[in-house]
Amino acid sequence: MYTIYVKFDCLPGKREAFIQKVKDTGVLEAIRAEDGCIRYDYYLSEKDPNELLLIEQWESKAHQQTHIAQPHMVQLRGFKDSYITKTTLGEIKLL
């Protein structure tokens, strides 16, 4: 299993709009239907209204690498900059 986190710093007031855009465009549904996707969930920071955390869990790193090349991910990258100022990625090692 391969698990990563993605921390997004959103433009002020754009966090919920970004999540809604990901849903409305069908990107979220397409990602969750991908082969090897176990979890793809967003979490809101209670402390920072402009912070968004994404936890991705895949059957393997190869599945996640295939995921980032999918057409719906190209679509997401096309609108992401209208909502997100900074993206930080990291692996989560599960015991």
Q: Quick check: 4 and 93 in contact, CB under 8 A?
A: no
CB-based contacts of 23, cutoff 8 Å, min separation 6? 29
Does residue 95 surpass a pLDDT of 90? no
Does residue 94 surpass a pLDDT of 80? no
Residue 44, token pair as written in the block: 């809101």
- pLDDT tens sequence across 49-89: 999 999 999 999 999 999 999 999 999 999 999 999 999 99
- pLDDT tens sequence across 20-49: 999 999 999 999 999 999 999 999 999 999
pLDDT of residue 22: 98
Residue 1: closest CA among 56, 60, 55: 60
Domain span at residue 25 reads 2-92
Taking residues 2-26, report their average pLDDT: 97
Whichever domain contains 77, its CATH number is 3.30.70.100
Q: How many domains does the chain have?
A: 1
d(CA 28, CA 8): 16
Q: Which residue has the tokens 């849903």?
A: 23
